[in-house]
Amino acid sequence: MMHYPLDLASIIQSKSYEEIPQYLLSIAPLIVSAVLIVVVGFIFSNLVGKLVIKGLRAKGVDPSIHGFIRTVITLILKFIFILSALSTLNFNINSFVTALGAAGVTAGIGLQSSISQLASGVQILANHPFKSGDYIDVGTVSGKVQEIKMMYTVLVTVDNKRVIIPNSYITSNNIINYNAENRRRLDLVFSIAYDNDIALAKQTLLEVVRKNELILTDPEPLIAVKEHGASSINLACYIWCSSDDYWDIFYYMQENVKLAFDEKKISIPFGQLDVHISKE
């Protein structure tokens, strides 16, 4: 009986090329098993990914991070099945992992920016500074959070523009989350002329506020003289509302205060400049 080397490398090293067909035929069952492990493993990994999504939805986890978690879990499972398939072929797993680690270090040097984005994505998911649907300000960009990805976050602006922001930019800037709390205070300033009745203007503002049921009564609205401007008395009107009603209340106040002031003959002054000409 002819003795065959234990692996393909030994055959090539001994230059017994005529033994390659016999060797491949002898390990054909192992190759089939490895292929089946990979195929079944990938199908299983994708199935687990779908089950994870269902579980996250049932637990009420933020939908924007579902894809991120599913991707991480499926990649880990697929890597495990690939290692299992290589082990079936009597592949030296330790050498493979070592080589993979060395390659990872080399790739990491050239992919520092991408790794930074990934680390920032993990940081966002761990700290939860915002969630899908929140309206946020990040640096000079603002919009509603649509999706949180591994490398970037997607915002949609109020005029329906899609903005893709690298995660490292988000974690290195101040984040203002307007939906983190259920209630927001709307700070408004309305100007009246110096010869108008301040008490009447304040009462008119309060009447406009009371007519809108979306404006909260606890805390109470604050209406007071804010400052004596160059051309007007400026009245502060601080009211509380649900975060979701903020802009509806803002536009309501802008329109209805003007109408109410006109009805009560309260004038809203414009900037003016007195020029005195000397005959000398």
The whole-number pLDDT of residue 58 equals 83
Q: Which among 214, 225, 217 is positioned nearest to 253, based on CA atoms? A: 214
Q: What is the CATH number of the domain that holds 230?
A: 3.30.70.100
Indicate if 108 and 203 belong to the same structural domain. no
CA dihedral of residues 37, 43, 49, 55 (deg, nearest 10): -100
Indicate if 144 and 81 belong to the same structural domain. no
Mean pLDDT by 10 residues, the chain (280 residues): 46 54 70 85 90 83 73 86 78 65 60 69 79 88 87 90 90 88 93 94 96 93 93 94 92 96 90 75
Measured distance CA(238)–CA(216) in Å, rounded: 11
Indicate if 109 and 12 belong to the same structural domain. yes
Domain count, the chain: 3
Range of the domain at 162: 129-177
Q: Is 0.85 surpassed by the pTM of this model?
A: no
Indicate if 39 and 102 belong to the same structural domain. yes
Indicate if 22 and 65 belong to the same structural domain. yes
The whole-number pLDDT of residue 5 equals 42
Contacts with 26 (C-beta within 8 Å, 6 or more apart), sequence order: 4
Indicate if 208 and 237 belong to the same structural domain. yes
HSE-CB at 205 with a 13 A cutoff on CA atoms is: 23
Q: What is the CATH number of the domain that holds 17?
A: 1.10.287.1260
**Structural domain includes residue 3:** no
Indicate if 228 and 172 belong to the same structural domain. no
Contacts with 67 (C-beta within 8 Å, 6 or more apart), sequence order: 147, 149
Contacts with 249 (C-beta within 8 Å, 6 or more apart), sequence order: 186, 212, 214, 215, 239, 241
Indicate if 109 and 135 belong to the same structural domain. no
Which amino acid appears at position 34 of this protein?
A
Q: What is the CATH number of the domain that holds 135?
A: 2.30.30.60
Indicate if 106 and 33 belong to the same structural domain. yes
The whole-number pLDDT of residue 2 equals 39
Indicate if 170 and 191 belong to the same structural domain. no
